[in-house]
Amino acid sequence: MDAEVFRAWIVSSARTIEASRDHLTQLDAAIGDADHGINLARGFAAVLGAQEFGKASSPGAVLTVTGSTLISKVGGASGPLYGVAFRRAGKALGDDADPGLHALSAALDAALAGVQQLGAAREGDKTMVDALAPATRAFSKAVAEGASRDGALAALAEAAEAGAAATISMQALKGRASYLGPRSVGHEDPGAASTALILAALRDAARAAS
Amino acid sequence: MDAEVFRAWIVSSARTIEASRDHLTQLDAAIGDADHGINLARGFAAVLGAQEFGKASSPGAVLTVTGSTLISKVGGASGPLYGVAFRRAGKALGDDADPGLHALSAALDAALAGVQQLGAAREGDKTMVDALAPATRAFSKAVAEGASRDGALAALAEAAEAGAAATISMQALKGRASYLGPRSVGHEDPGAASTALILAALRDAARAAS
Amino acid sequence: MKKLINNPDTVVTDALAGLAAAHPSLAVDAENKVILRAGGPRPGKVGLVSGGGSGHEPLHGGFVGYGMLDAACPGEVFTSPVPDQMLLATKAVNGGAGVLHIVKNYTGDVLNFQMAAELAEDEGIDVVPVVINDDVAVEDSLYTAGRRGTGATVFAEKIAGALAEEGADLAAVAAVAREVNERSRSFGVALSPCTIPAAGKPTFELADTEVELGIGIHGEPGRTRAPMAPASELAAVALDAIGADLPVDGDLLVMVNGMGGTPLIELYALFSEVSQYVRARGGRITRSLVGNYITSLEMQGFSVTVCRLSGALARLWDAPVETPALRWGR
Amino acid sequence: MKKLINNPDTVVTDALAGLAAAHPSLAVDAENKVILRAGGPRPGKVGLVSGGGSGHEPLHGGFVGYGMLDAACPGEVFTSPVPDQMLLATKAVNGGAGVLHIVKNYTGDVLNFQMAAELAEDEGIDVVPVVINDDVAVEDSLYTAGRRGTGATVFAEKIAGALAEEGADLAAVAAVAREVNERSRSFGVALSPCTIPAAGKPTFELADTEVELGIGIHGEPGRTRAPMAPASELAAVALDAIGADLPVDGDLLVMVNGMGGTPLIELYALFSEVSQYVRARGGRITRSLVGNYITSLEMQGFSVTVCRLSGALARLWDAPVETPALRWGR
Ligand SMILES: Nc1ncnc2c1ncn2[C@@H]1O[C@H](COP(=O)(O)OP(=O)(O)O)[C@@H](O)[C@H]1O
Ligand SMILES: Nc1ncnc2c1ncn2[C@@H]1O[C@H](COP(=O)(O)OP(=O)(O)O)[C@@H](O)[C@H]1O
Ligand SMILES: [Mg+2]
Ligand SMILES: [Mg+2]
Ligand SMILES: [Mg+2]
Ligand SMILES: [Mg+2]
């Protein structure tokens, strides 16, 4: 997977986030402050508009500029968290021009570690971690079991989706939704939902490239 | 008609105003500031509660204390206007213990003159004058034509009622409704409506006493 | 209707109790509904009394203090106060130099103040009334109730209050209040109605796509209803109406006033439009107020008031003032 | 949704343009969204920077000026600003004595300020963050996001700003901000939701007979929903919650804050209840604020913030301040 595939991933993430802007915002309205879709749409639009994004010549560079731009443009909780996730993943890939599945797995683990280090959320706290953590686990398991690229990425996206859905029954302990206490139960976490969308975009971008 | 009849008039005015409180307020909401019923209800309740009201021993004294209390308790445009009307009428009656129809007619004329002197409204301006003026005219005409007390008071009340209804098609030139310009057309003037109620109460109080 | 009150019948006195508790600089007579500067009348200083219906807060009670009003008389919600209140206030603030009544031009306010002035004159107190009528939405004519008094009241109270504080006599204080009124014009727009507590329902209905143009401050509908428009267009509607009557060039004092339910972020967005409009016509906004100063309960909307400044008026505007709602210089 | 704006996407920058036009004492960088005191950094003075989502006006931009903040960074509506803004502000106000970051405890604010502080430290600027978390509606626990920062932010900005103006060093200024936070507690109640311009519909639905108890300042629903009640009962709910955590006796600074759409007459009615409640428990409200200071757009409702004063804190509260929204002593 070269820089073009990674760039296509981010472009398609931007598209899916824009298309889900109102849905994500409504999820956030239920248990937060009704801005998650707006925040991410603004951020991804800025990424696509950034000069360095078009010029980034390695997968690592694509992800690093994505993360930096999100940090500069999103704000809120999700800005730094997604920003760090992409930056850590980009740093982990280094300037490998065509990272393989093991490198990608390590990059995803680095992204998760970055999010947890910054946000201190654990699985079950009803955050994006509840989508990202099972997804990275499913991906590395599939890779270890010798799955194909498309198969491993399908496992990744599926686990993220299932993880996001599982947040519905959780009571939030981190982020804005935690202020609602028991009233946070019964709603999907917006950050987990957007993580599932972004990882599905990765699966689709890779599939389209093959 | 002695002091008791006049007191009964004011008591019954208070009752009819209280019963029409929301209606008068709604009329005022349409073309004013939605307080006319509230204002008058507060004022008449204060009149009934005033020590001197219960003690007033002549018709003139009953009306004078009514007017003074309205001035002190109502506020708004209608407070001074109704206050002056009752005070002038009371002054005109002097300490006559049992004024006849001519004295009553003169008192009503004095009330109208007081309202017009203070408020400078003419007939057709869409104010309480549009109920009071035709009513006093009808009353003095009936008296001049030798009508009975009940007959003359019926003419008074009827003319007030018709005058109030006629304000519906007028455009306001005085009072708060004038700010609406042409939009004031199509609504009954609240002060004209309350005047009709008060004069109907006079008719009924006299009838009940006979 | 949902309001932060105990009871529609006690809201005015309850709020007065809160005003008294919050501001030791005021002497609040909650029973008689008069708000006074603490410390009694200032000998030799012209006293300034204003008043009007409640529901316009901070007007007038929030403007009682050094360099502005000596007393305010709050009526029931949107109902002008009664002469008893004004007489009591007039007597309480008379320091021997006479008393100015600042009266917004509404039939009720004018009539009640007129009665109070007569009673005060009977007791030997010089009273001069100045009637404020700055609202260009209403035609000014001898045959009508005339223009309403709105935003210019704040300017007149501040500027006349500053002159009185300097020791000017009653005629001079009244003259400057009149001058402020003559140099000022206002126009208001409502995005929503408001609900009088005792009435319990909104004063009018307004679709989500409509605004009322040319409103007053008593929850009444405006002169016309128009489609909702961006802030830039609403600012232009207001300033076109003002400008048709008074050139908006030269040094200006401008207030962008919220009607009570409009957040400050929107008032600032509107102020930006107002300032661009004025600049394009050769005006310089050298002084301004942005916020809730003369309101209609929780109504959403705004009014713009423009006053053409002279050097003397600007100096009086800048003079120290210390009231709950307007304070600088001390 | 009806709002006095041009466009949901430009409301923050439009309001900044208005703020700049209205207040020559501010230097507003609308492009980078930073509000600074005009005149550059004060050499030797600790700089105070705060920031947060927009929609809480006058917080924080309205508190920039002498004796309070040196800079404010407004984010999008209800969205914490980004590190770039905070870094720019931090560099612009650094007079060599270091910079205090006053941060409301929300994950977004904390994370973005943390990133900015790291970048500023890289450029050799001493930065100390103080996190405000005064909202008793939220449980304080290591395992959660912790209490929200609300009304105490205003007190901390004023009091730390006064100490910085006196020339105290960064450690002392940070310590007094922390002390204010420790001595302050808040609780909020919503009577209506608000509508984020870009979202276009209300953040929640609330029946005419219900209130939200324990709300924050971002239009989020509260901890519980309860039947609408008189002001006296709502005041007691808020103060019971505060009092369970901090005794409300002794000398107190109390703010009765409107959420943006509640008129002043109601806030004063509520203040009367608050003052009676506190007096009955041995408290003396010696200083107070009643008005809109930390808002949620046009939401109707209030928050109460109580700060237990010491003599030193009272003195710093009384010190001169000159900002658009808080001004006395000059
Ligand atoms: N401490 C945290 N760790 C991980 N994710 C978090 C944390 N706090 C919040 N989030 C995620 O951020 C999302 C909210 O993002 P967003 O709405 O953009 O920011 P904000 O909450 O500041 O408005 C939540 O749905 C959650 O998934
Ligand atoms: N100048 C006037 N002359 C006579 N009646 C008037 C005048 N102005 C107003 N009114 C009457 O007063 C009524 C309104 O009374 P009210 O609502 O109690 O006072 P306000 O208008 O001050 O709220 C009007 O309906 C009208 O009949
Ligand atoms: Mg959010
Ligand atoms: Mg009325
Ligand atoms: Mg009225
Ligand atoms: Mg947010």
- pLDDT tens column, D1-55: 899 999 999 999 999 999 999 999 999 999 999 999 999 999 999 999 999 999 9
Say if C25 is an interface residue toward chain D (CB within 8 Å): no
Say if A23 is an interface residue toward chain D (CB within 8 Å): no
Which residue has the least CA distance to atom 7 on ligand 2? B175
Task: Tell me the shortest Cα–Cα distance from B169 to chain C, in angstroms.
Answer: 17
Residue C223 placed within a domain: yes
Return the pLDDT at C222. Answer: 86
pLDDT above 80: residue D142: no
Q: Under 8 Å CB-to-CB from C106, ≥6 apart: which residues?
A: B77, B176, C52, C80, C145, C148, C149, C218
Return the pLDDT at A97. Answer: 96
User: Considering only CA atoms, which of B62, D71, D220 is closest in space to residue A27?
Assistant: D220
Is residue C85 within a helix (H) or strand (E), and if so which, with residue range?
helix C83-93
**Token reading at D78:** 């209800």
**Token reading at D222:** 């509260």
pLDDT category of residue C56 using cuts at 50, 70 and 90: very high
Taking the C-alpha atoms of residue C277 and residue C233, their distance in angstroms, rounded to an integer, is 10
Taking the C-alpha atoms of residue C106 and residue C133, their distance in angstroms, rounded to an integer, is 9
Give, to the nearest 10 degrees, the angle between helix B149-166 and helix B190-209: 170
Give the angle D56-C157-C231 at the CA atoms, nearest 5°: 40
Residue D107 placed within a domain: yes
CATH number at residue A70: 1.25.40.340
- B38, B39, B179 ranked by CB distance to C138: nearest: B179
D330: how many CB neighbours lie within 10 A of its CB? Answer: 14
CATH number at residue C142: 3.40.50.10440
**Token reading at A170:** 């959780």
- pLDDT tens column, C216-227: 999 888 889 999
Is residue D227 within a helix (H) or strand (E), and if so which, with residue range?
strand D224-227
Residue D5 placed within a domain: no
Return the pLDDT at D121. Answer: 94
Residue C2 placed within a domain: no
Give the angle D249-D254-D256 at the CA atoms, nearest 5°: 135
Mean pLDDT of chain C, nearest integer? 96
Chains that touch A (3 or more CB pairs under 8 A): D
What's the per-residue H, E or C state across D76-87? EECCCCCHHHHH
Residues D58 and D174 reside in one and the same domain: yes
Please answer yes or no on whether A34 and D196 come within 8 Å at the CB atom: yes
Q: Where are the alpha helices (DSSP H) in chain B?
A: 3-19, 21-31, 36-49, 51-55, 59-73, 78-93, 101-119, 129-144, 149-166, 190-209
Return the pLDDT at B210. Answer: 81
Task: Tell me the shortest Cα–Cα distance from A198 to chain D, in angstroms.
Answer: 20
The one-letter amino acid code at B170 reads M
C77, C297 Cβ separation under 8 angstroms: yes
Residue C3 placed within a domain: no
CA A168 vs. chain centroid, Å, equals: 18
Say if D263 is an interface residue toward chain C (CB within 8 Å): yes
Residue D257 placed within a domain: yes
Residue D325 placed within a domain: no
Q: Under 8 Å CB-to-CB from D164, ≥6 apart: which residues?
A: D45, D46, D47, D48, D100, D173
Taking the C-alpha atoms of residue A190 and residue D73, their distance in angstroms, rounded to an integer, is 25
Interval between CA C223 and ligand 2 midpoint (Å): 18
User: What is the number of CB-based contacts under 8 A between chain C and chain D?
Assistant: 203
Return the pLDDT at D84. Answer: 97
Q: Describe the strand order of the beta sheet including C224-227 as a list of residue ranges.
A: C224-227, C210-213, C184-190, C301-308, C250-258, C283-291
- pLDDT tens column, C268-291: 999 999 999 999 999 999 999 999
Residues D26 and D160 reside in one and the same domain: yes
Final residue before a domain boundary, out of D182, D205, D230: D182
Is residue D186 within a helix (H) or strand (E), and if so which, with residue range?
strand D184-190
User: Considering only CA atoms, which of D263, B84, D18 is closest in space to residue C292?
Assistant: D263
Mean pLDDT of chain D, nearest integer? 96
What CA–CA distances, in Å, run from C237 to A187, C143, C255?
Answer: 45, 26, 16
B94, B107 Cβ separation under 8 angstroms: no
pLDDT category of residue D230 using cuts at 50, 70 and 90: very high
Q: Under 8 Å CB-to-CB from C319, ≥6 apart: which residues?
A: C67, C162, C165, C166, C329
Task: Give me the mean pLDDT over the C320-327 stretch.
Answer: 98
pLDDT above 90: residue C203: no
Find the domain containing C161 and state its range.
Answer: 12-182
Residues D151 and D30 reside in one and the same domain: yes
Taking the C-alpha atoms of residue C240 and residue A91, their distance in angstroms, rounded to an integer, is 59
**Token reading at B29:** 């909401």
Q: At C287, is the secondary structure helix, strand, or coil?
A: strand
Q: Under 8 Å CB-to-CB from B210, ≥6 apart: which residues?
A: B149, B150
Cβ-based contacts of C322 with chain D (< 8 Å): 328
Q: Which of A38-42, A103-107, D90-94, D219-223 has the lowest mean pLDDT?
A: D219-223
Cβ-based contacts of B38 with chain C (< 8 Å): 76, 79, 196, 198-199
Find the domain containing A148 and state its range.
Answer: 3-209
A126, A174 Cβ separation under 8 angstroms: yes
Interval between CA A178 and ligand 1 midpoint (Å): 10
CATH number at residue C263: 3.30.1180.20
Task: Give me the mean pLDDT over the C254-259 stretch.
Answer: 98
Identify the bridge partners of residue C299 per DSSP, sorted by sequence position. Answer: C260
For residue D203, give the ligand nearest its CA: 3
By C-alpha distance, the chain D residue nearest C303 is D4
Please answer yes or no on whether D260 and C263 come within 8 Å at the CB atom: yes
Please answer yes or no on whether D55 and C7 come within 8 Å at the CB atom: no
The one-letter amino acid code at A27 reads L
Return the pLDDT at B185. Answer: 96
Return the pLDDT at C221. Answer: 83
- pLDDT tens column, B38-82: 999 999 999 999 999 999 999 999 999 999 999 999 999 999 999
Return the pLDDT at D221. Answer: 83
Task: Give me the mean pLDDT over the A35-42 stretch.
Answer: 95
Final residue before a domain boundary, out of D127, D155, D182: D182
Taking the C-alpha atoms of residue D215 and residue D199, their distance in angstroms, rounded to an integer, is 19
Predicted complex ipTM: 0.92
B20: how many CB neighbours lie within 10 A of its CB? Answer: 20
Residues D300 and D170 reside in one and the same domain: no
User: Considering only CA atoms, which of C99, C150, C89 is closest in space to residue C124?
Assistant: C99
* Number of domains comprising chain B: 1
Please answer yes or no on whether B32 and C137 come within 8 Å at the CB atom: no
Please answer yes or no on whether D115 and A71 come within 8 Å at the CB atom: yes
Phi first, then psi, for residue D53 (nearest 5°) are -60, 155
pLDDT above 90: residue D140: no
A209, A161 Cβ separation under 8 angstroms: no
Residues D177 and D189 reside in one and the same domain: no
* Number of domains comprising chain C: 2
- The helix/strand count (H/E) of chain C reads as 8, 14
**Token reading at A94:** 């280094």
Task: Give me the mean pLDDT over the D63-76 stretch.
Answer: 98
pLDDT above 80: residue B205: yes
Residues D211 and D280 reside in one and the same domain: yes
- pLDDT tens column, C143-167: 778 899 999 999 999 999 999 999 9
ω into B187 cis (within 30 of 0): no
- pLDDT tens column, C84-106: 999 999 999 999 999 999 999 99
Residue C281 DSSP one-character state: T
Residues C27 and C84 reside in one and the same domain: yes
User: Considering only CA atoms, which of A49, A9, A10, A42 is closest in space to residue A25?
Assistant: A42
Chains that touch D (3 or more CB pairs under 8 A): A, C
What letters, b where the CB count within 10 A reaches 16 and e where it falls short, cover D217-227? bbbbbbbebbe
pLDDT above 90: residue B138: yes
What CA–CA distances, in Å, run from A126 to A132, A163, C158?
Answer: 11, 10, 55
Final residue before a domain boundary, out of D153, D182, D211: D182
Residues D33 and D138 reside in one and the same domain: yes
User: Where does residue A193 rank: exposed (0-12), middle (13-18), buried (19+ CB within 10 A)?
Assistant: buried
Cβ-based contacts of D192 with chain C (< 8 Å): 2
Q: Is the CB of A77 under 6 A from ligand 1?
A: yes
Percentage of residues of chain A with pLDDT beyond 70: 100
| Block residue for tokens 């430009």 | D10
C19, D265 Cβ separation under 8 angstroms: no
Return the pLDDT at C223. Answer: 84
Which residue has the least CA distance to atom 6 on ligand 1? A127
Q: At D302, is the secondary structure helix, strand, or coil?
A: strand
Task: Give me the mean pLDDT over the A45-62 stretch.
Answer: 97
| Backbone CA torsion sign across B174, B177, B180, B181 | negative
Interval between CA B118 and ligand 2 midpoint (Å): 12
Percentage of residues of chain B with pLDDT beyond 70: 100
pLDDT category of residue D153 using cuts at 50, 70 and 90: very high
Residues C101 and C194 reside in one and the same domain: no
